Amino acid sequence: MRVLVAMSGGVDSSVAAALVRDAGHHTVGATMKLWGGPSDTGCCSVSDVEDARRVAQQLGINHQVFNFSEDFDRHVVEPYVADHAAGRTPNPCIECNRRLKFDRFLDRARRLGFDAVATGHHARVERGPDGAWELCRGADPAKDQSYVLHMLGQPELAQLLLPVGSMTKAEVRARARALGLRTAAKPDSQDVCFIPRHGGRQAFLASRVTLHPGRVVDEGGRPVGEVAAVELVTVGQRKGLGSSIGSRYVTQVDTASATVHVGPLADLMVDRILLVRPAWVGRAPAPGERFEVQLSAHGQPVPGRWDGEGRVALDEPVRRVAPGQSVVLYRGESVVGGGVALAA
């Protein structure tokens, strides 16, 4: 089988490439050049591309670089900026997976005649009892990445290999050391690749949109403080708003009026979440069907059901998910699908 391996320059994709090669497949590595601006974080720096190239050389496989920077800016960076400008809290890594890694990259692989693509994500692809493909949690709970892959459907899963999904992170690093790979001890990427460490999110957003100072009002509409940029505030936030808000939390961000609403924790609790842009691994769930609902990448799932009208109904109230974040439904270890939370 001809397999194109997405090599980010990290240890997971390095070992994924080695495992594909060792399984006897015709293996080629490819690194996506996504961010065209300066980068000292994430997986888009010049050094990451060089690490991927050198690992491919160590493994004796060919390596290519695909420049998807225009698509990345259009489909990931611009929506990220627009979401913040509208008071939402986006997850750019999920959109990168949706629009680049499992759309543009997979399409390029098909056009080049590859049978499958492989990545270093910690998740598993398995066949279900009915023969349909299933996306399952990775073997290492601390590194499980099935949440950020929830948008994958049957066509994508049919051509996807996740070689390290059945391994713990310790096992991945041990395999890399045994192979003498230069990425064996490389730290994991923790940051958004296009947000530089110097200046961070505020400086980046300020370079693209005008940030507006805002007022903070309590549950009765009384002013209790100010923020330097309302676009940087997140629903559920408590820190960084000054001592005058006391024990209150952000309950709403209204960028149109440059107003941040705060209130007690009780005002954040909800038992229903409206989702947009739903994506299902297989069939769409039936109304009333029950699932475990995960509200963040490594959050504790909570029981709930799909109401058939775009909402997840939870058995017990939880803290409101910030608009723009993803909510993912599971059936045991298997991902059912998910969507993006809207404002309550």
In a domain, 296, yes or no: yes
Instruction: Give the separation between CA 157 and CA 212, rounded to whole angstroms.
Output: 43
**Which of 44, 93, 96, 136 is labelled catalytic?**
96
Single pTM value for the model: 0.93
Most confident of 44-58, 189-203, 269-283: 269-283
In a domain, 199, yes or no: no
Number of structural domains (the chain) is 3
In a domain, 191, yes or no: no
In a domain, 131, yes or no: no
In a shared domain, residues 109 and 18: yes
What is the arithmetic mean of pLDDT over 169-181? 98
In a shared domain, residues 45 and 96: yes
Q: Which of 137-151, 200-214, 237-251, 262-276 has the lowest mean pLDDT?
A: 237-251
Instruction: Give the separation between CA 335 and CA 312, rounded to whole angstroms.
Output: 15
In a domain, 284, yes or no: yes
Question: What does the pLDDT read at residue 38?
Answer: 58
Active site residue 96: yes
In a shared domain, residues 7 and 75: yes
What is the arithmetic mean of pLDDT over 189-208? 88
In a shared domain, residues 170 and 312: no
In a domain, 304, yes or no: yes
Averaged pLDDT of the chain: 94
In a shared domain, residues 221 and 170: no
Question: What does the pLDDT read at residue 279?
Answer: 97
Question: What does the pLDDT read at residue 192?
Answer: 86
What's the pLDDT tens digit per position in 297-335? Answer: 999 999 999 999 999 999 999 999 999 999 999 999 999
In a shared domain, residues 114 and 233: no
In a shared domain, residues 59 and 173: yes
Question: What does the pLDDT read at residue 198?
Answer: 81
In a shared domain, residues 233 and 274: no
Domain span at 289: 270-341
Question: What does the pLDDT read at residue 43?
Answer: 59
In a domain, 47, yes or no: yes
Question: What does the pLDDT read at residue 242?
Answer: 81
What is the arithmetic mean of pLDDT over 247-251? 94
Q: Is the pLDDT of residue 39 over 60?
A: no
| CATH number of the domain enclosing 253 | 2.30.30.280
Percentage of the chain exceeding pLDDT 90: 89
Q: Name the band, by pLDDT with cuts 50, 70 and 90, for residue 211.
A: very high
More confident residue, 44 or 69: 69
In a shared domain, residues 170 and 30: yes
More confident residue, 37 or 264: 264
Q: Is the pLDDT of residue 40 over 90?
A: no
What's the pLDDT tens digit per position in 61-74? Answer: 999 999 999 999 99
What's the pLDDT tens digit per position in 156-168? Answer: 999 999 999 999 9
Question: What does the pLDDT read at residue 272?
Answer: 96
**Which of 43, 44, 93, 193 is labelled catalytic?**
193
| CATH number of the domain enclosing 287 | 2.40.30.10
Alpha helices per DSSP H over the chain: 11-22, 46-59, 69-72, 78-85, 92-96, 105-111, 154-157, 169-179, 200-206
Instruction: Give the separation between CA 106 and CA 102, rounded to whole angstroms.
Output: 5
In a shared domain, residues 106 and 221: no
In a shared domain, residues 64 and 87: yes
| CATH number of the domain enclosing 107 | 3.40.50.620
Q: Name the band, by pLDDT with cuts 50, 70 and 90, for residue 44.
A: low
> In terms of Cα–Cα distance, which of 133, 131, 130, 121 is closest to 158?
133
Question: What does the pLDDT read at residue 196?
Answer: 85
Count Cα neighbours of 110 within 13 Å in the Cβ-side half-sphere: 12
Number of residues written out for the chain: 344
In a shared domain, residues 45 and 115: yes
Question: What does the pLDDT read at residue 286?
Answer: 96
In a domain, 237, yes or no: yes
